[in-house]
């Protein structure tokens, strides 16, 4: 909670607010509609009261390439109706990413973490002209496979230039992009890809992390075997080559170089003028599928509409953030996090994007060397990275110039007050520090940056234009001033997902109906007709005309978030069920009867650690060997980030009367809540909570010593 008074001086005040794109947009709205809006607060209120006029004006202001038509949206509908947007429009997302064709301007710069074998890896650079040419060649190659609009094209790759090209080429022809990070375990990727059944998979042969080369082809082979066994899927595989691979290829796989050369020689998908023949579809055409963390089952396949992703990103970058073609934009992200999609959308501005493959902290100076070397002006990261950097005692300002920096973005978890101080004292004293929030569900922002507004300690600057977010009490009423509540959105917004996969026309009637119901339960079951986002927040009193900032108080559900990496508890449960459930073939000493996984708040609330509780058969003791086996399986089948900080044996696991594991009450108890705060009448075995309370006291004492 923010304890500072509303009058506390800001940490940063823009020197040129009146010349910002946000103020220019306000003036344009005033002129077009005969208004007298005078502040960001005024503009925000107008944008959420008149969503049709606002988004129509945004389209023109940010110069969307395509046909707009006359219709915008039915402004009288509620979010639960998920109304169509710009129903007459025809656009292509990739076309809007490649409006710049300069042969002198770099579009992408790829940096790779050094290793002992390669201490000074050269950066790879691609101009906008080269990027366009390579996308055109890959478009041709994909069309040789007889791909059609709506087919899924997937990536199991690192953050490399080829991955961006693959995304642009796939979406250029109307295919739907699906991505999983190379550090994901194959079981987690299988759970995602088997739901959407891609026809093509792009994959790297190796990745670098923590100064080591990690071979990727064995994981790729395991994924392909699983897809073949589970759903008889045998996609075309394109391998992005490196000089690091030592593993033998499958004879059916095709190298990136060979594939793109075939496309270049055939020149499919071109107009008579030799341009890419962009597949313009409706505004609501599916662009990509992102996956939820999988708390209550398999990860949810969230389908995002092309027009919504384009219009929202252009609004955020051009109007709110004031990104410019001369900016160099970096975000530390994997390809499995929505911040990769966020970063790639920066191509629409014509700026230079910096991609990085490797550890951000093995050498804490490395990313800041990149800032100076590449003149990075927009630096994106996570709150956990800043926290770890501060704990290491590393002060970038003492070792680097950093005068090129304009903005620093932080997301993944709330940015604590002390980290605001750290950034301004030890990184840059005059930079726009923007804590931003939105997430995979909308693949964009509900609240975040504005170049026309000050930065206040511990707060997100503002609610984003056009996003009518409010806070509700548990009973569904609007929160009072200074009352924390659940983040909701009460008006339709264009970046709302179309639904969960499969959409109508892409599956059986039964599977489509089930996906639609799963979508409704995810976002519209908590409150009638309004979007429930699952974040507990406080909207602060308006300061300097910002309409109120936001303080993030945590997730409302049981999503685990260690180090800013979100994942669901079911990802842990699935490993335990696969590897340690009872079977005739398995030794009884290697079985787990039941388990519960929750997060414990640490580091003053700036981070979490994963605590796994296990119940063993016959109450035998948890051995060191068993602990090691559990950690090993979770690491190999998921990722190192999924490995629990503590594995603790308990006598019983609490369940509700209707047979559901009780995660949230246990999480609250181990973080200090009283047992009396839990409604025992809803539990099948409430007596077992006493043991969790005792363990929680021990864990909190342990965390204080760290």
* pLDDT tens readout for residues 103-151: 999 999 999 999 999 999 999 999 999 999 999 999 999 999 999 999 9
71-80 in b/e burial notation, b at 16+ Cβ within 10 A?
ebbeeeeebe
pLDDT score for 183: 85
Q: Cα 525 to chain center, whole Å?
A: 23
Report pLDDT digits (tens) over 414-471.
787 878 999 999 999 999 999 999 999 999 999 999 999 999 999 999 999 999 999 9
Assign residue 529 a region (left: φ > 0; alpha: ψ between -120 and 50; beta: otherwise): left
- Assess contact for 356 and 159: CB atoms under 8 A: yes
Higher-pLDDT residue of 205 and 655 is 205
pLDDT mean over 500-511: 97
Neighbours of 211 (CB within 10 A): 15
pLDDT score for 556: 67
pLDDT score for 659: 57
Report pLDDT digits (tens) over 331-387.
999 999 899 999 999 999 999 999 998 999 999 999 999 999 999 999 999 887 897
Structure tokens, 313: 């990103």
Report the predicted TM-score, pTM, of the whole model to 2 decimal places.
Answer: 0.84
- Assess contact for 562 and 609: CB atoms under 8 A: yes
Closest CA to 81 of 467, 526, 469, 520: 520
Contacts (Cβ under 8 Å, ≥6 apart) of 554:
414, 535, 536
pLDDT mean over 308-322: 98
Cα distances (angstroms) measured from residue 567 to each of 300, 488, 496, 557: 12, 22, 21, 12
Place of tokens 């399986």: 633
- Assess contact for 305 and 498: CB atoms under 8 A: yes
Closest CA to 308 of 151, 499, 436: 499
Closest CA to 379 of 323, 421, 447, 337: 323
Closest CA to 654 of 683, 681, 682: 683
DSSP reduced 3-state for 647: strand
Q: Is the pLDDT of residue 600 over 70?
A: yes
Kindly report whether the peptide bond that precedes residue 590 is cis, defined as omega within 30 degrees of 0: no
Which band of pLDDT confidence, cut at 50, 70 and 90, is reported for residue 557? Answer: low
Rounded Cα–Cα distance for residues 50 and 47 (Å) = 5
% of the chain at pLDDT higher than 90? 76
Rounded Cα–Cα distance for residues 630 and 642 (Å) = 11
Mean pLDDT, rounded, of the chain = 92
């Amino acid at each position: 909670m923010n304890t500072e008074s509303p009058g506390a001086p800001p940490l940063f005040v823009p020197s040129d607010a009146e010349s910002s794109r946000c103020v220019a947009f306000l003036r344009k709205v005033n002129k077009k509609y005969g208004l007298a809006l005078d502040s960001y607060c005024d503009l925000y209120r107008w944008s959420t009261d008149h969503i049709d006029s606002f988004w129509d004006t945004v389209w023109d202001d940010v110069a969307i390439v395509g046909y707009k038509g006359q219709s915008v949206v039915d402004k009288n509908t509620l979010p639960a109706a998920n109304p169509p947007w710009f129903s007459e429009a025809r656009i292509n997302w990739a076309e809007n990413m490649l409006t710049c064709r300069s042969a002198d301007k770099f579009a992408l710069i790829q940096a790779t973490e050094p290793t002992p074998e390669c201490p000074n890896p050269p950066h790879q650079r691609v101009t906008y002209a080269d990027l366009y040419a390579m996308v055109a060649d890959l478009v041709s190659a994909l069309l040789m496979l007889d791909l059609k609009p709506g087919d899924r094209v997937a990536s199991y790759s690192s953050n490399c230039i080829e991955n961006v090209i693959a995304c642009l080429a796939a979406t250029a022809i109307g295919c739907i992009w699906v991505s999983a990070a190379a550090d994901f375990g194959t079981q987690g990727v299988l759970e995602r890809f088997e739901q959407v059944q891609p026809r093509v998979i792009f994959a790297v042969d190796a990745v670098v992390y923590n100064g080591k080369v990690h071979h990727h082809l064995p994981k790729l082979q395991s994924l392909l075997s699983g897809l073949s066994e589970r759903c008889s899927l045998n996609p075309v595989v394109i391998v992005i080559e490196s000089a690091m691979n030592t593993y033998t290829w499958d004879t059916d796989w095709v190298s990136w170089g060979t594939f793109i050369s075939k496309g270049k020689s055939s020149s499919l998908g071109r107009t008579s003028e030799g341009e890419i023949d962009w597949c313009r579809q409706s505004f609501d055409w599916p662009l990509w599928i992102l996956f939820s963390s999988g708390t209550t089952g398999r990860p949810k396949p969230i389908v995002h509409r092309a027009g919504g992703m384009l219009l929202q990103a252009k609004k955020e970058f051009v109007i709110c953030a004031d990104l410019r073609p001369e900016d160099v934009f970096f975000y530390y992200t994997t390809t499995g996090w929505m911040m990769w999609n966020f970063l790639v959308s920066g191509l629409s501005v014509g700026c230079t994007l910096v991609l990085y493959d490797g550890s951000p902290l093995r050498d804490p100076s490395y990313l800041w060397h990149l800032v100076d070397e590449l003149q990075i002006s927009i630096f994106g990261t996570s709150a956990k990275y800043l926290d770890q950097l501060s704990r290491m005692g590393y002060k970038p300002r003492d070792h680097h110039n950093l005068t090129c920096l304009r903005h620093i973005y932080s997301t993944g978890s709330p940015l604590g007050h002390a980290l605001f101080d750290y950034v301004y004292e030890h990184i840059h004293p005059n930079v726009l520090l923007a804590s931003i929030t939105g997430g995979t569900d909308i693949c964009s922002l509900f609240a975040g940056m504005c170049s026309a507004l000050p930065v206040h300690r511990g707060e997100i600057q503002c609610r984003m234009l056009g996003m009518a977010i409010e806070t509700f009490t548990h009973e569904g009423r609007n929160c009072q001033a200074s009352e924390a509540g659940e983040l909701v959105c009460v008006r339709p917004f264009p970046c709302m997902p179309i639904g969960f996969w499969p959409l109508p026309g892409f599956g059986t009637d039964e599977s489509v109906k089930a996906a639609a119901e799963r979508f409704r339960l995810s976002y519209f079951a908590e409150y009638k007709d309004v979007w429930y986002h699952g974040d507990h927040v406080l909207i602060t009193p308006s300061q300097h005309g910002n309409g109120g900032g936001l303080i993030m108080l945590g997730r409302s559900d049981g999503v685990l978030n260690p180090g800013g990496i979100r994942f669901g508890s079911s990802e842990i449960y699935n490993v335990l069920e696969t590897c340690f459930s009872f079977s005739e073939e398995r030794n009884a000493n290697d079985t787990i009867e039941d388990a519960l996984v929750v997060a414990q708040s640490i580091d003053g609330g700036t981070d979490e650690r994963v605590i796994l509780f296990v119940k063993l058969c016959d109450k035998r003791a948890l051995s060191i060997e068993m602990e090691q086996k559990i950690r090993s399986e979770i690491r190999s089948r998921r990722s190192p980030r999924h490995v629990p900080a503590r594995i603790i044996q308990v006598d019983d696991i609490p369940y509700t009367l209707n047979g559901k594991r009780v995660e949230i009450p246990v999480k609250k108890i181990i973080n200090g809540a009283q047992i009396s705060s839990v409604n025992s009448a809803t539990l099948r075995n409430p007596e077992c909570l006493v043991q969790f309370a005792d363990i929680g006291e021990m864990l909190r004492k342990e965390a204080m010593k760290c």
